[in-house]
């Protein structure tokens, strides 16, 4: 019984490490390009009722990306947008992006549009 109790945490750690695969390089490059666009856009990012710069938004979303990468759940850029960049994990409130005098858009819509543009211009 003692052997089982000692082995269980080791096996659980091994299983977790084995199941957490890094995001594929082309997917990660696409996500990085998308977040760089957000950072350089001059747009603001609303998270839980407060507005942040594009640079702050990028930093926050990179932390969330790392969290989901540790779980091995980021298979494509659309999944990253859905899991990490659509809403607050703590409050459930949707993220928004506001550019200049335009109306705020849900971040999912803004990021999906930017991703489509990015893919059209990338050979």
Task: Give me the pLDDT at residue 73, please.
Answer: 84
CA 75 to each of CA 17, 30, 41, 101: distance values in angstroms, whole numbers, following the listed order: 17, 12, 26, 35
Q: H helices within the chain, ranges in order?
A: 2-19, 25-40, 54-70, 77-84, 107-121
Task: Give me the pLDDT at residue 48, please.
Answer: 96
Task: Give me the pLDDT at residue 19, please.
Answer: 53
CB count in 10 Å sphere of residue 38: 21
Q: Where in the chain are the domains?
A: 22-121
* CA 121 to chain centroid: 22
The strand pairing partners of 22, in sequence order, are none
Token pair 């979303």 is found at 61
At residue 22 the predicted structure's pLDDT band, cuts being 50, 70 and 90, is confident
| Coil vs helix vs strand at 46 | strand
Per-residue pLDDT of 41-51, as tens digits, reads: 999 999 999 99
- For the cut 90, the answer to whether the pLDDT of residue 4 exceeds it is no
- For the cut 60, the answer to whether the pLDDT of residue 111 exceeds it is yes
Q: Greater confidence, 122 or 60? A: 60
**Separation between Cα atoms, residue 29 and residue 47, nearest integer Å:** 24
CB count in 10 Å sphere of residue 34: 22
Q: Greater confidence, 43 or 5? A: 43
Task: Give me the pLDDT at residue 14, please.
Answer: 42
- For the cut 80, the answer to whether the pLDDT of residue 25 exceeds it is yes
């Amino acid at each position: 019984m003692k052997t089982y109790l000692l082995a269980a945490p080791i096996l659980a750690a091994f299983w977790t490490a084995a199941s957490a695969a890094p995001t594929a390089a082309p997917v990660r490059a696409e996500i990085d390009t998308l977040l760089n666009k957000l950072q350089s856009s001059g747009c603001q990012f609303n998270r839980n009722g407060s507005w942040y710069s594009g640079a702050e938004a990028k930093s926050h979303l990179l932390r969330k990306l790392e969290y989901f990468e540790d779980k091995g759940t980021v298979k494509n850029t659309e999944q990253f947008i859905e899991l990490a960049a659509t809403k607050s994990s703590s409050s459930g409130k949707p993220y928004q992006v506001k550019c200049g005098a335009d109306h705020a858009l849900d971040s999912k819509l803004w990021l999906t549009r930017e991703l489509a543009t990015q893919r059209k211009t990338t050979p």
